[in-house]
Every structure is written in structure tokens, then in C-alpha cells.
Chains A and B, each alone.
Chain A
Amino acid sequence: MQTPENSYCLPDARGHFGKYGGIFVAETLIPALEELRLAYEAAKADAAFRAEFEYDLKYYVGRPSPIYHAKRWSGLLGGAQIYLKREDLNHTGAHKVNNCIGQALLARRMGKKRVIAETGAGMHGVATATVAARYGMECVVYMGAEDIRRQAANVYRMKLLGATVVPVESGSKTLKDALNEAMRDWVTNVADTFYIIGTVAGPHPYPMMVRDFQSVIGAECKIQMPELVGRQPDAVIACVGGGSNAMGIFYDYIPLAGVRLIGVEAAGLGIDSGKHAASITAGTPGVLHGNRTYLLQDKNGQIIETHSVSAGLDYPGVGPEHAWLHDSGRAEYVTVDDEEALQAFRDLCHVEGIIPALESSHAIAYAAKLAPTLAKDQVLLVNLSGRGDKDMHTVAERSGIQF
């Protein structure tokens, strides 16, 4: 969570990160967002709330997650040493659960008995369904009809956990449309429902709150890296869909000017093909889903369909804090395409015996490009945001294998 010694203090009182962020929603939700902001600020200042959050992260999620030195792979690449922050070892298999526990505890504190969520790859949906079961809450997950088809195993996992999965047939039938539909549910059931957004997007206070809950990742790294290598890393690398795993690992490193922060966006079939999900690299500022940020849009301001082999990166926007970190120059944003991500996926399986999520494989692929250009004593810290079991189907299909 954000601490007083942290000199960086964005967003401002109305949720702005420079010109990004803010609250761009219809009037009906304004009071609900204000109620949420006040409840969150009170919870954050309450030692009992923080203790409960930390207890569940430790005993339910299994934190702290270890950092692993990928020695063999670093050796083969022949340059910088690569360290992996193992968010894949969390309960439910990704970083998403950190945020879900925080928001579910807040929902309980606010007396809300029903939680809703949007999901793309299904990881946030599974994490939300999991914590809803754990805290005895009704759970409804909105998922694009197209993603339901691509991620059948996760759909079944959510149902096993007691959640209702609602297919979304509007628009492009993917994550952005699921988010629209979850917002429509929230506006209708605002009195008794808590909307658990899965990334650092949405209207204020979501980008700040999700970042704070996920910042446990970077806070642990800041302690673990000196223990492992005697110092902080030279660069921190994370994939960026909406940007929650990246904000989570970046946040505590923002004040350390010597640490490069590198966000990796999905280039899909290549930036020039137009079929990608690289909002910062190839997008322009606009307003979507309650905040101002970089968007993939046409010249008329219509949001365009994105493509990535990884469903979790298949989003036409990005958290507003990343937009700000980009413009301010504090973080760099680069891209990795489908083929490069798949190659990194296979390499990590073969060389280190770790099956990474396809999302995380984008960060790994960039580390594999960067490492050989650096000296052997340089240290790269990569956020391994999730495990790849959910992606078996996608990868097998591309190799022509049917289960």
C-alpha cells in the first residue's frame, strides 16, 4: 500500500494523473464512486483492515511470492541475469487475486453482499469467484462471448466456484464489452453491489485502489532483491494489458531513479498490421471506461478491435497511471508480438521448467531480447504475473494439436 515515505503522490484528489485518469461516468454512478472512495480511504487508514488484507495474502494466497534466479536461461542468453517474481505461484495462479482480496474485503466492510466482475482471459473472473466463495458473497462475472469460447476451462472453473458467468454478445464480444456490461449491471444494482474491477483502469478511485492492492508485489521485491543480489535490479519488466501487474511491481520503484521501468505491450500480428493491443505505443489519448488514457481508436473516436494471442492483453486501453508514466518519461513502453511471446513461452518451459501465462510471456520475451545486450552483472527483474495452464489449449491449437 502507499506509504508516507513515498515521495510520489499521484493521483490528485479527483483521480488525475496529470491529464489522465479522472471520473468519466454517467451521473448515476458518481455518488457510488464517492462512497467507494471514502470507504477505501477509511479502510486504508484502518490498521485492522490492513492486517486482515495481509493475513489473507499470507495464509490464503501464499505470499510473499519468491523471486527465482533463472540461471540456466540467463546463461544461455549470455548477458544480464534474469530474476522472476513468481506471481504464478499465488493461489489461483496469477497476480489478480491480490487485488480481488483487497476489494472483496472492502465490499464486506461496506456491507455489499453481491460482487460483479469483468474478465477477459478468465483469470480475474476466477480470482473474483474464488474470493467471493471464500467470503460468502454472490458473484456474477461478465465475459465476452468470444472469450468464453477461447477460455472454456476458466469458464468451468468459475462455475465450479459458484459464480454465474454471463456471456456478453455486444460489440466485439471481448473484454472491453464485458467491462461495459459490468458497468451497466453496477448502475442498475448500485445499492447492494460492489464492482471488482480487475485492472488499474476504470474511474477514480479504481486505478489508485487496484495499484495500491497490487503494490505488494513491488514492495516484496524491494526487500527480496537486496537479500538475493545485494542491490536493487537495473530494470523491472512487466507485461501491460490494463496494467495492474506492471503497476504493482513498478510502484515502489518509481522513486528509485536508477531502476528502469519497462512495460511490454502486445504487438499481436505486428504494429503495422493494425492487429495488436499496444495502446501506449500505437494509440492516442481519449476517454473510455471512466478515465482518460491512451486508446486504440479510429479517426472518429470509435474504439477499434484489438488482437493478441493472449486474451489478458487484448484490451484497447491502458491504466491512466501508465499513460502518465509514459509521458513523464519515468517508464518505457515497448512491444512484443505473438510469435516472440510464444517462443519465450516455449523457452521458459524447456529451460527452466516453468510454464508461464501467455501474458507474462510478453515480459519474458522482452527480457530475452534485452539481456544479451547487457553485461553479465546487470540484473533484470521480470514479473511472472501468472502460470500458463489456462493457455494450454491456445498453444496446442497453434501447434495443430487437439485435446
Chain B
Amino acid sequence: MSRIPATFWRLAAASRKALIPFITAGDPEPGLTVGLMHALVAGGADIIELGVPFSDPMADGPTIQRASERALAYGVSLHIVLGMVREFRKQDDVTPVVLMGYANPIEAYGAEAFVADAVAAGVDGVLVVDYPPEECAGFAAQMKGAGLDPIFLLAPTSTAARFAEVAQMGSGYIYYVSLKGVTGAANLDLDAVAQRIPAIREKVGMPVGVGFGIRDGAAAARIAAVADAVVIGSRIIEEIENSPRDQAAVRVTAFLRGIRNAMDGGNP
């Protein structure tokens, strides 16, 4: 069984919300990824979203596109990403890892083989950006059967009928895309998100995480007040981009601590 439900139970018992950082596997170079994952946990990450690089990341803004390109320059494949998770698991058997990426690398790997290998590597959930529920019923069922959580997106444009559909097919948590746009966009409207979340939480009957465009402690705290989890991606990638490579892990831990404090009611 996936480590995700237990993580949310523990957090709920402590009246805390989940912090879910995103990094792209293999960025800025493959040798740093596992260390960065541990650094995220040291900074207060409850779940790690690990991006699988793809040549055509249609839903991503420039920051995550660059991360993907840097990783692809090293030839980082889905096989290699699973190897990184295996390596991470040698020291951390608690923090859930969710792979986030696009359909084509998984189809090229072979969906069935991927599900088996992902479980064996210690993956807990998979979010395939361009697999809406209507195109992946079989894949989602395979994942659930193997103890992996299929994570689905909901968006500001989603209809109420959609909430139910996603709730039925998904598990683990729902990822609410906070804005109309791509990752890293700057048009986040916190009030609109805060208004939307309660109805979604009620309808889907599982934890709701919110991501896209969250860049600082203040925004994270606002989201944490209404949702179950806060996802931060582009801002962390920027932190990695702007650090000398030997300091990236330390800087990421420090950045995440600030977010964690703000979410837990301390000073941002």
C-alpha cells in the first residue's frame, strides 16, 4: 500500500498540512537528485513530487521546461528516475514519492512494466498530466491494484460532475491547479482558490493539494488554511538554478523551512 494515506492521517492528527515540493529528476544533474530529495525532507517536505523529464512539457512554464531540458541533456529516462527513487528509499522509507510527468515516456516504457517497476522502486503515486480520467481507466485500475495512487488534477474550469469522476478514479490526493495557466505562472488569485477549495474537499472525499504559482510563505499559509497540502515547484527549481551546485541542497532546505514555518503559523 502507498505511504500517502498514512502521511495525511499523521498530519491530520497533528493539525498540520502537507508540504509537497516538486523537483525535476536529473536537474541540474542526475548525481544531485537523491541528495536534493533528502534535502527537501530535511526542510519539512511531507511528500515529494518528482518530475519525469519530457521533451514536450505542454503544461509547464519556462522554469520547469528548462529543468526538463537540463535533465534530458544527461539522458535522464524513466528507468533512471526509478533508479533514483530506489536509491532514495535506502535511507528514507517513510516519505511518499509521487512521480509527475507525461504519458508518452510511460507508454514507451510499457504501462504494465512501469506499474510493477514503480512499486518495486518505492514509488507511491503517479500523476500523468495528459491522462485525463477518460483516457486512462485501465491504467488507473492497474495502479490501484498494485498499491499505487493515481493522482488526478482538477482545475478552475472543472465542472462539478468532474469532481465526482476524478474522486472515483483517483486515490491518495487530488491536485487542484490553482490557476488557468502553466506551472510557475504569476496570475494566482488566492481569494478565488480559497473560495473554491471547501466545495472540492467535500465532493472528492480525499485530501486536496493546491499547486501552480505558489512562491512564498504567505501564499503557502493562505492555501494551507483551506487545503490539505501545498505544492511548490517552479520556485524551488529557481532556487536550484541560482545556487552553486555544491550548495543547492542546503539552500533548498533553508527555503523550504521558511515555507514550513509560515504554514505552521510561525513567521514566514
Q: Which residues of A contact B (CB under 8 A)?
A: 14, 22-32, 170-171, 176-177, 180, 183-184, 187-191, 285-290, 295, 297, 299-304
Contact = CB atoms under 8 A, between A and B. Distances in A.
Given A187-B182, A302-B72, A26 B58 contact: yes
Contact of A188 (B106, B109, B134, B181): B181
Contact of A295 (B59, B69, B104): B104
B152 interface: yes
A27 B152 contact: yes
B56 A24 contact: no
A26 B156 CA distance: 12
Contacts of A190: 157, 180
Given A286-B104, A300-B79, 18 more contacts: A24-B131, A27-B155, A27-B158, A28-B155, A28-B177, A31-B158, A190-B157, A191-B180, A286-B107, A289-B58, A290-B130, A300-B75, A302-B54, A302-B55, A302-B72, A302-B77, A303-B55, A303-B104
B57 A24 contact: no
Given A26-B129, A27-B132, A295-B104, A303 B156 contact: no
B65 interface: yes
B153 interface: yes
B58 A31 contact: no
Interface string B28-59: 00000000000000000000000000111111
A26 B185 contact: no
Contacts of B182: 184, 187-188
A301 B104 contact: yes
B108 A171 contact: no
A300 B77 contact: yes
B56 A180 contact: yes
A302 B69 CA distance: 11
Interface residues of B, number: 44
Given A171-B55, A187-B182, A191-B180, A25 B108 contact: no
B108 A26 contact: no
B157 A24 contact: no
Nearest to A285: B107
A207 B105 CA distance: 23
Given A26-B58, A27-B153, A188-B185, A171 B69 contact: yes
Nearest to B129: A26
B159 interface: yes
A351 B59 CA distance: 49
Contacts, number: 123
Interface string B57-68: 111011001000
Nearest to A301: B108
Contacts of B177: 26-28
Contact of A23 (B61, B134, B152, B155): B134
23 contacts: A23-B134, A26-B177, A27-B154, A27-B155, A27-B158, A28-B181, A30-B132, A31-B159, A170-B62, A171-B55, A171-B56, A171-B69, A187-B182, A188-B181, A188-B182, A189-B180, A285-B107, A286-B107, A286-B108, A290-B130, A297-B104, A301-B104, A303-B104
A287 B107 CA distance: 8
B103 A287 contact: yes
A183 to B, nearest CB: 5
A187 B130 contact: no
Contacts of B181: 28, 184, 187-188
A30 B167 CA distance: 16
A289 B62 CA distance: 18
Contact of B59 (A23, A187, A301, A302): A187
B78 interface: yes
A302 B71 CA distance: 12
Contact of A32 (B78, B102, B157): B157
Contacts of A191: 180
Nearest to B166: A27
B182 to A, nearest CB: 5
Contacts of A297: 104, 108
B144 interface: no
B135 interface: yes
Interface in B155-191: 155-159, 162, 177, 180-182, 185, 187
